[in-house]
A = this chain, B = another copy of it.
């Protein structure tokens, strides 16, 4: 940690800062430059972090520069090797690209079974589908709830595909965990800390989606909450950030993929459906995500998008999903992976 003093800081200001640091058991190195004084701090990281805000308001301090990353368990420095997350009989993070696919919402038995079979046939590896839906408007369809979970389990029994589905609230976790193979935490809940903690205790792998304006540090700290409860099986998902471009629903931030792969050992997947909001742009962005190094995709697929109860405009129909899968194979091969 480094404290940069204001150009007009007095000796007394510097001494106050140094005293505060030393009283906390840390060492200092004071460097008096032409324009301003800089104080380096050496010692225990947790202590430094606890001092940081206090030093920021000490008179004469211009700013405090943190040297270390604020996260630990998720960092590649802590675990250098790629984590492979097991989801039922499937996995996310190895050389085979994970393809999570299925409808935005489970709407009924025929819909989910037809989708699951088409996903399986086209080479998808995990079935997605929402039973509890976070909808912007209270007047939109809110999901089939437990009935939706039961149908997902039936689709798993039929196809062998493990199931990922969202929990919106800590109180829902027990119910969701009874049916799912992987718990999804949605973008709107990325900083719902009671939910993160509960998910970390549920003994299931977790799919954590990036909040729509979260920095990568905030995403990694949200994952840190889960790992801190004992679950190291976490997959991160880039799903588009808030932008000013009206042609897509969000701005897909694909450079987050190589940056995250450098900062963390956790697998990183991409959601081109939520990001673009338009089925027409899902395939090119899915291909781009793999080329950028993503460990997988999560894609919305519906047998009849024009009659979907949610997210129809961004859902691929079964035929377009099969075409997408075909087009992904040579891209994966080009970077030494397989679909």
Query: Is the beta-carbon distance between A275 and B287 smaller than 8 angstroms?
Result: no
Which of A82-90, A112-120, A123-131, A331-339 binds B?
A331-339
Nearest CB in chain B: distance from A291 CB, A: 4
The 4 A-B pairs with the shortest beta carbon distances in the complex, nearest first, are A213-B213, A330-B334, A291-B291, A188-B191
The one of B40, B68, B246, B333 in contact with A330, judged by C-beta atoms closer than 8 angstroms, is B333
A46: interface (CB < 8 Å): yes
Taken together as a complex, chains A and B put the C-alpha atoms of A119 and B193 apart, in Å, by: 30
- Establish whether residues B192 and A169, one from each chain, have CB atoms under 8 Å apart when the complex forms: yes
Give chain B residues whose Cβ lies under 8 Å from the Cβ of A287: 291-292, 334-335
Chain B residues within an 8 Å CB radius of A276: 255
A242 at the B interface (CB under 8 A): yes
Q: Name the contact of A65 in the complex, choosing from B34, B65, B251, B289 (C-beta under 8 A).
A: B65
Q: Contacts A35-B45, A45-B35, A253-B245 hold; do A218 and B136 have CB atoms under 8 A apart?
A: yes
Q: Could you say how many copies of this chain the assembly holds?
A: 4
Partner of A248, one of B35, B259, B308, B327: B259
Interface size class of A (residues with CB under 8 A): 35 or more
- Give bound CA distance, A96 to B311, whole Å: 36
Q: Do the beta carbons of A245 and B215 come within 8 Å of each other?
A: yes
Kindly state the separation between the CA atoms of A280 and B275 in the bound complex, as whole angstroms.
Answer: 25
Residues of B within 8 A of A71 (CB): 137
Cβ-neighbour of A254 out of B241, B288, B306 (below 8 A): B288
Expressed in whole angstroms, the minimum distance between the Cβ of A102 and any Cβ of chain B is: 18
A12 contacts partner chain B, Cβ-Cβ < 8 Å? no
* B221 pairs with A194, CB closer than 8 A: no
Are B246 and A215 within 8 A (Cβ)?
A: yes
Q: List 21 A-B contacts (CB under 8 A).
A: A4-B67, A38-B40, A49-B137, A54-B308, A57-B313, A136-B221, A138-B224, A169-B169, A188-B192, A215-B246, A243-B243, A247-B255, A251-B253, A254-B254, A258-B281, A284-B291, A284-B293, A288-B291, A327-B334, A331-B335, A334-B334
